[in-house]
Chains A and B, each alone.
Chain A
């Protein structure tokens, strides 16, 4: 849901440069103010600690135990058995990892460029630009669950629009787009693109507005055509936005969950790591250790873009 986060974070990074004057020092405050300020920090920090950071550490610890989640006395150390199981025995793990990778590649190669292209076209003071923007942006407001349902109506084997348009509806050739294990990941990716492209578009539109117009004028005076101007001058200047988009795309592909879960419970061709985690936690057979081992894999992979991103954002600060 909140893979959108870095956009704002990066965007507002601009503000950082504004005030460089030393701020009020904590030690200068009187006692009452110290107590107030400490509370203002302590309450949110405590909430983060208890509900985000401690659970993250616990996830790692739980991945080394065998536990059914019932009583703490049932906890048994398991060494790396859970990891051995998911890497060598569990049949869904490698397909899920491949699907996550495919998700990333598809968003990066198809969805993101569509968003960029729409932004470039709409940035040229086109008539009705706002109407186009509203249309392309509208899926961004929807939950991915709802997007799954709306596309289910479109993809349905017997009642869906797509098969009517293809002329196969009602015939044996009618494809079950969300049911066919070889095709459903592509069908889901197109639905995800519907949302992702609009989101990328709005970020790039904001980025393009921020590009100094004199840069483009200078480039066109030098005889550069539209594409040279864009790819040699404008695109490199938008580097901060480009980084945000890269991070969003990676994180979005790791977080993909809602849409595959609503389609078929993330089975039969739609396995993703995030959904496998959940399959071990809810339902009758709770195998907390294996679920946690999968969560740790997800954590380790996620830390790569997170660390890169944070080190860029906070480089000047530290």
Chain B
């Protein structure tokens, strides 16, 4: 469908802008329809949609579904769990990746390129490749019941944070190492001559200069970890410990007979991402395309 639109727009391009606008407006409307439909459904009470049909304007429009979904769905818990997982993961990832990136980009040693290649490769694997061994490793990693109620690492936030961190370090290391390589070598050389140790060069000289990359990567990682569905699905068994993105799976079943509630739940889940999108869109896009425009 969309392709046909595309063809017609191309032929119209020679008389620019009117045709282009027409095409873009049509596409923008197509793009917004799923959002608008979800919002429209969420704003109407179930009784009214049952009475007038979902495809109608009859009846009331209010926020009751949002309140009901919030209370029945236990969103507060799920959002809390998302924060518990996302915040440490992003901080750990950026910290560890920046150390690794500093070591491979500012110093020459035997395996630095090899390791960097391995780090980058690890991040590109489909996570399902690692699922079975990681699941079994965590299951057979015995812990006292006072620490973990499963008696092992399954069903713990630590497991999800660890795997998410490991998976993201590779990518962040690669990006940060390229960023740090571009910083003038004189900076750390001068500090080195002045007797500044490795840690000081890293923490006091390189890290502050890497801030723009951190802002972009941080935004990107927050969104990615918040949106991660798979690892909590595999590693966490208790429903009340799931982060919101994975909990949607359960909520979907719970609300299936009530589309209005399901729509409201979906919109509630979008809100945090939407806020980040509005406030930090620039950072997010910069993260995705970091440096591409310099090429």
Binding site for B on A (CB under 8 A): 1-16, 18-19, 21-26, 29, 32-33, 36-37, 40-41, 43-45, 47-48, 50-56, 58-59, 62, 69, 72, 110, 113-114, 117-118, 121-122, 124, 126-127, 132, 134-139, 141-146, 149-154, 156, 159-161, 164, 169, 193-194, 198-199, 202-203, 206-207, 209-210, 225-227, 240-241, 251, 254-255, 257-258, 261-262, 273-275, 277-278, 280-282, 288, 291-292, 295-296, 298-299, 302, 305-306, 309-310, 313-314, 317-318
Contact = CB atoms under 8 A, between A and B. Distances in A.
Contacts of A225: 14
A145 B230 CA distance: 10
Interface in B172-225: 173-175, 178-179, 181-185, 188-189, 192, 197-199, 202, 220, 223-224
Nearest to A305: B124
B133 A18 contact: no
The residue among B136, B179, B224 with the most chain A CB atoms within 10 A of its own CB is B136
A11 B295 contact: yes
A99 B43 CA distance: 36
B85 interface: no
Interface of B: 2-3, 6, 9-10, 13-14, 16-17, 20-21, 23-24, 27-28, 31-35, 37-38, 41, 49, 54-55, 96-97, 99-100, 102-109, 113, 115-137, 139-140, 162-163, 165-171, 173-175, 178-179, 181-185, 188-189, 192, 197-199, 202, 220, 223-224, 226-230, 233-234, 245-246, 248-249, 252, 259, 262-263, 265-266, 269-270, 273-274, 276-277, 281, 284-285, 287-295
Contacts, number: 378
B276 A141 contact: yes
A243 B263 CA distance: 38
A229 to B, nearest CB: 12
A12 B96 contact: no
Is chain A's binding surface mostly helix, strand, loop or mixed?
helix
Given A44-B96, A278-B234, 16 more contacts: A12-B178, A16-B181, A19-B182, A44-B97, A51-B134, A51-B167, A55-B130, A56-B133, A145-B229, A169-B55, A206-B289, A209-B293, A257-B229, A261-B249, A281-B132, A291-B131
